[in-house]
Amino acid sequence: MAEIEQIRVSIKRPKDSLDGKVVGYIRSNPFGLEADYSQVITATLKNHWLPLALFSSGLRGEELRQIGIWAIGQLEAQISVIRRICGIVPDPLVVTSNTPVQASDIVASDSPSILGIISADQQISSTDEEDEDDDDDDDDGFLSSQNYQEMTDIKRMFGWDKP
């Protein structure tokens, strides 16, 4: 029987650092769940990164959409827990959009980029160039230079800026 290739992850952080406190908290099984430490870590990674990992590996369509919905549900549940435990009231000024993005709204590129620039017409572009047609809409402050720089830095951090 062929041996299954596995990936090993090891996390060591000073106990008194923020990372160490998070790892120690997860290890303590704070909610008394039946999952062990490695299952909680793996579930956390999946909640946060699975849709992006599958997208970057080429998955598209309904299956990716369903996985995205599941992951968002998991993250929203965690947000709710954090709000309740920390006594944080949702900001009434923050409005989330439930505008569906159609597959035809996504501008394809040679290398898929999760963090593209989202224009005012809800299209996602994986280039760093702004549409020349949208020059008259620049007053709306949709993408400030600071936000643009943050997006560029994030792309660079994950290696998504490479052609």
142-160 tens-digit pLDDT: 555 666 666 676 666 666 6
CA distance 67 to 17: 33
- Structure-model confidence comparison of residues 160 and 55, the more confident one: 55
Q: What is the pLDDT of residue 39?
A: 87
In the chain, the amino acid numbered 80 is S
Alpha-carbon distance 11 to 9, whole Å?
Answer: 7
Residue 45 in tokens: 């990674």
CA distance 46 to 76: 14
Buried b / exposed e along 43-56 (16+ C-beta atoms within 10 A): eeeebeebbeebbe
Q: Taking the C-alpha atoms of 122, 60, 50 and 151 in order, what is their torsion angle to the nearest 10 degrees?
A: -30
pLDDT at 54 over 80: yes
> Is pTM beyond 0.95 here?
no
Higher pLDDT, 89 or 158: 89
Q: Which amino acid is at 19?
A: D
Q: Residues of the chain with pLDDT > 90: what percent? A: 37
